[in-house]
């Protein structure tokens, strides 16, 4: 039976023998966890959990030899798992194995996830209410929308063109122009960038919750609706605005 999905299981009984030729008995006793797992970006690694981090350096010193023996073992061992012989670790990493710390960390994760679930279920309970009219406050990275003050995630790596989308959601634009084919577009400049979009593009935007409590994002259902243009294009259309 394949154990590919169980790569985080403790293989201490199986792999401990490859450490005994290089480490003292005290160092061996410190090893409480050994797993063979796939790295995020290709390849496999041996992850070693020890109770005494004083042995970390010596384990890493002998890592190349230990890895060589484990690879040879993996290649030749008899197994019913068709993937097992191809799991050849190229790296070894050491971490502190502390059950009390792990229990505490797991508890903190559960509590945080509980709060996130409550936020996703009842977001209005976490957002400040206001009587101010709808508006976008770029310096504070918030929008005021339908009586709520909503912090917006401006991380450009994840959510592109957020300042422009916030302005458009507030129905803001610099001018409107009609091209040669008779299509009407709206233009705006924000943060030194220039954009054009169709009149109904605002209807394409929606506010979505993020996993960060109290923070939302602006998403577009059709990613082709907003286009960044050159400054020359922006100025050219500005001269023929309707």
User: How do residues 190-212 score in pLDDT, each as one tens digit?
Assistant: 989 999 999 899 999 999 999 99
**Contact at 8 Å (CB) between 49 and 64?**
no
Identify the pLDDT of residue 6.
54
How far, CA to CA in Å, does 82 sit from each of 1, 5, 78? 9, 13, 10
State yes or no: pLDDT of 95 exceeds 90: yes
Looking at the structure, do residues 178 and 130 belong to the same domain, yes or no?
Answer: yes
Choosing from 80, 97, 114, the residue where a domain stops is 97
Angle at 162 between CA 157 and CA 166, to 5 degrees: 165
Looking at the structure, do residues 146 and 231 belong to the same domain, yes or no?
Answer: yes
User: How do residues 4-39 score in pLDDT, each as one tens digit?
Assistant: 445 688 999 999 999 999 999 999 999 999 999 988
Looking at the structure, do residues 130 and 60 belong to the same domain, yes or no?
Answer: no
Looking at the structure, do residues 138 and 197 belong to the same domain, yes or no?
Answer: yes
User: How do residues 110-135 score in pLDDT, each as one tens digit?
Assistant: 999 999 999 999 999 999 999 999 99
In a domain, 103, yes or no: no
Identify the pLDDT of residue 182.
85
Token digits of residue 124:
């209005």
Higher pLDDT, 112 or 157: 112
In a domain, 185, yes or no: yes
Structural domain boundaries, residue 73: 4-97
Catalogue the E-assigned strands of the chain.
31-38, 44-50, 89-96, 128-129, 135-137, 142-145, 148-151, 175-178, 184-190, 193-198, 205-209, 216-220, 226-229
State yes or no: pLDDT of 170 exceeds 70: yes
Choosing from 47, 78, 97, the residue where a domain stops is 97
Identify the pLDDT of residue 222.
79
Looking at the structure, do residues 36 and 74 belong to the same domain, yes or no?
Answer: yes
Looking at the structure, do residues 9 and 93 belong to the same domain, yes or no?
Answer: yes
Average pLDDT, the chain: 91
Choosing from 58, 79, 97, the residue where a domain stops is 97
Q: What is the pTM of this model?
A: 0.65
Identify the pLDDT of residue 82.
87
User: How do residues 145-155 score in pLDDT, each as one tens digit?
Assistant: 999 999 999 98
Looking at the structure, do residues 133 and 93 belong to the same domain, yes or no?
Answer: no
Higher pLDDT, 38 or 49: 49
In a domain, 221, yes or no: yes
Span between the terminal Cα atoms of the chain, in Å: 70
Looking at the structure, do residues 128 and 224 belong to the same domain, yes or no?
Answer: yes
Looking at the structure, do residues 49 and 145 belong to the same domain, yes or no?
Answer: no
Average pLDDT on 161-170 reads 94
In a domain, 36, yes or no: yes
In a domain, 81, yes or no: yes
Average pLDDT on 41-59 reads 93
Identify the pLDDT of residue 241.
58
Identify the pLDDT of residue 223.
76
Question: How many domains in the chain?
Answer: 2
In a domain, 114, yes or no: no
43 pLDDT band (50/70/90 cuts)?
confident
How far, CA to CA in Å, does 39 sit from each of 7, 46, 64, 74, 75? 10, 10, 18, 17, 19
In a domain, 109, yes or no: no
Contacts of 141 (CB under 8 A, 6+ apart): 151, 152, 154
In a domain, 64, yes or no: yes
Nearest alpha-carbon partner for 153 in 211, 204, 225: 211
Looking at the structure, do residues 49 and 132 belong to the same domain, yes or no?
Answer: no
Sign of CA pseudo-dihedral 72, 73, 77, 79? negative
Looking at the structure, do residues 137 and 77 belong to the same domain, yes or no?
Answer: no
Looking at the structure, do residues 234 and 159 belong to the same domain, yes or no?
Answer: yes
């Amino acid at each position: 039976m394949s154990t590919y999905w169980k790569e985080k299981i403790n293989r201490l009984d199986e792999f401990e023998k490859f450490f005994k030729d290089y480490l003292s008995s005290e160092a061996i006793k410190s090893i409480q966890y050994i797993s063979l797992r796939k790295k995020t970006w290709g390849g496999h690694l041996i992850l070693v959990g020890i109770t005494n981090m004083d042995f970390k350096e010596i384990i890493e010193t002998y890592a190349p030899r230990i890895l060589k023996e484990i690879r040879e073992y993996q290649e030749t061992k008899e197994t019913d798992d068709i993937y097992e012989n191809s799991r050849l670790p190229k790296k070894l990493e050491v971490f502190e194995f502390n059950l009390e710390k792990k229990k505490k960390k797991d508890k903190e994760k559960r509590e945080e996830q509980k709060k996130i679930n409550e936020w996703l279920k009842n977001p209005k309970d976490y957002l400040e209410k206001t009587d101010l009219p709808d508006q976008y406050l770029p310096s504070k990275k918030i929008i005021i929308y339908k009586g709520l003050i909503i912090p917006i995630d401006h991380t450009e790596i994840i959510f592109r063109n957020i300042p422009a989308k916030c302005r458009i959601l507030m129905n803001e634009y610099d001018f409107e122009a009609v091209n040669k084919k008779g299509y009407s577009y709206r233009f705006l400049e924000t943060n030194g960038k220039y954009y054009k979009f169709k009149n109904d593009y605002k209807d394409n935007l929606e506010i979505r919750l993020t996993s960060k409590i109290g923070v939302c994002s602006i998403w577009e259902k059709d990613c082709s609706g907003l286009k960044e243009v050159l400054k020359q294009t922006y100025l050219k259309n500005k001269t023929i605005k309707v």
